[in-house]
Amino acid sequence: MTLPDSRRLFAWRALAGASLLLMALGAFPSGQTAVASQGSTADPPTRLRVLFSDQALLRLGFGIIGHQTARGENLKAYIYRASRFDSTTGRIWFVMHGVNRNAEDYARAAAPVAERVNALLVVVEFPISVYPRSSDYTLGVTTYGPADGRALEEGRWRTPDDYLYSEIERLFELIRATLGGKQPGYYLFGHSAGAQFAHRMLTFLPNVKVIAAVAANAGWYTLPARGGAPEFTMPYGLQGTPIDDAAVRTLLGRRLTILLGELDTATAAEDEELRDTSEAQYQGTNRFERGRFYFQLGQGEAQRLRTAFNWRLATVDKANHRAGDVLPSVVPFLFADDMPLCEPAIATNVIVFSDFKYDPPLDAGDFNRDGRRVGTGDEYVTRRNTGQIPVCIAGWTLGDALERWRHVFPLGTRLNPGESLTVFGGGIPTGDFGRQVQWARSGLLSLSNDGDTIELRD
């Protein structure tokens, strides 16, 4: 369907637990606020005329907003507004989806994290119908043709305002203006192809308002170095790009975390989505190796340029190439002001089970308080530190005889003396529980009332 006016915004909202529902398309209910202007990305958006639905952004829980890009494409973004998000100062968090463009899945996977950190989650969908090739999404810097080492000299290189990455900046400005917010910037997470988008956005747009970023399990990287070899020529490096040393210094000084799954070790022969060119293979044979290579090369470039290096490198235990495996571990890197990670403890008898509900009936109550009564989501297990010192349980697991890893505790999980932590089977644990709260990484604890035994393992 074609929008009758270029200023029209499409907006949807979703009821908790229900399918996403169409609210308005083309026509605007009363009470909406227009946001339209022209200028550079430092000001309100260039050539972007849209109308936001106040209700879509102000309503708690899930919803969808849409806008028109500088290139005239109509895009939508799945959002989740946490129950305690503050419009004026609350965190705005952009999550970039992978090559399958399944933005709604990413929104649902990231929503429990957004709820715990009181954020407004935004997942823009870059659909295959508009961006058919993976490079159209992750390498959106050219007017046509490949993003290679000849694009700049052939005049195919876009101006920064026209990079696809700039759409995130524009959307942030629109959201902040609609909310009446005073946020100085936003947070960024990308997984797989989304991690490629995220690290290249920081590379090619050095002045973006990103406060902190996490790039998780990217397939390959644009290295922050240049040279005559193909391994350092665009898109694998900065040779043939307009990026200078000043921009590289800005990149290396960013709060950027390279987050890797311990088990994300498939090679190109085993995973058809993993690039197998010689230039990509130079970075490593799998995503885990390539992420470490990117970090180490960045570290070396920082030494060469004598500049600050603020990146972090972290591995998520027992994590494969799934966004849900690593998403709970982003908290200490994005939202905790670079707090030091705790070192996992060995088995100890001071962590005890203090409460649990196995597959409660629907009339037993909404234990995770997400507005839905689902037995597999509302079941929970609580454990408590009865000792005298803090215990780090990052990488520890909850499991039973059928599945050893029903839940893996994310990076940074620590229980102080007397502190309790509850793991729910799923859903979006909402509000303040007076203790730490997590949700099963697999989405379901799937515990049974028929003699099931749950174990905590280091």
Q: Which residue has the tokens 């591995």?
A: 315
Cβ density class 154-168: b for 16+ within 10 Å, e for less? eebbbebbbbbbbbb
Instruction: Provide, rounded to the nearest whole percent, the portion of the chain with pLDDT above 90.
Output: 69
Distances from the Cα of 212 to the Cα of 36, 190, 206, 269, angstroms:
28, 12, 13, 34
Residue 339 pLDDT: 67
Q: Which residues pair with 49 in a beta bridge?
A: 36
| Same-domain check for residues 129 and 251 | yes
Is residue 107 in some structural domain?
yes
Same structural domain, 241 and 360: no
Does residue 4 sit within a domain? no
Specify the number of domains making up the chain: 2
Instruction: Note whether 296 and 288 are within 8 A (CB).
Output: no
Name residues whose C-beta falls within 8 Å of residue 346's C-beta, 6 or more positions apart in sequence.
Answer: 458
pLDDT at 14: 31
Q: How far is CA 141 from CA 77, 158, 197, 253, in A?
A: 21, 5, 11, 23
What's the sign of the alpha-carbon dihedral 287, 291, 297, 301?
positive
Output the pLDDT for position 321: 97
Closest by Cα among 167, 181, 13, 170 to 91: 181
Residue 63 included in any domain: yes
In this prediction the pTM is 0.87
Q: Does any domain span residue 343?
A: no
Domain of residue 390 covers: 351-457
Residues 199 and 257 in one domain: yes
> Same domain for 377 and 327?
no
Q: Is the previous residue joined to 328 through a cis bond, with omega within 30 degrees of 0?
A: no
Q: Is 345 domain-assigned?
A: no
Which pLDDT score, from 0 to 100, does residue 98 have? 97
Q: What is the pLDDT at residue 19?
A: 25
- Hey, which bits of 46-162 come out as E strands? 48-52, 61-68, 74-81, 91-96, 119-124
| Residue 94 belongs to a domain | yes
Q: What is the pLDDT of residue 358?
A: 73
pLDDT at position 220, please? 99
Residue 39 is encoded by which pair of tokens? 């200028």
User: Any idea what the CATH number is for the domain that residue 392 is in?
Assistant: 2.60.40
The answer to whether 348 touches 391, Cβ cutoff 8 Å, is yes
Kindly state whether residue 422 falls inside one of the protein's structural domains: yes
- Nearest Cα residue to 67 out of 110, 12, 24, 9: 9
* Per-residue tokens: 35: 């946001």
Q: Helical H runs in 139-264? A: 166-179, 193-204, 245-252
SS3 for 173? helix
What CATH number did the domain enclosing 222 receive? 3.40.50.1820
Q: How far apart are CA 218 and CA 83, in angstroms?
A: 31
- The two tokens of residue 97 are 């989806």
Collect the ranges in the chain with pLDDT lower than 50: 1-52
Amino acid at 120: L
pLDDT at residue 267 in the model: 98
Tell me, what's the pLDDT at 324? 95
- Give the per-residue pLDDT at 458: 77
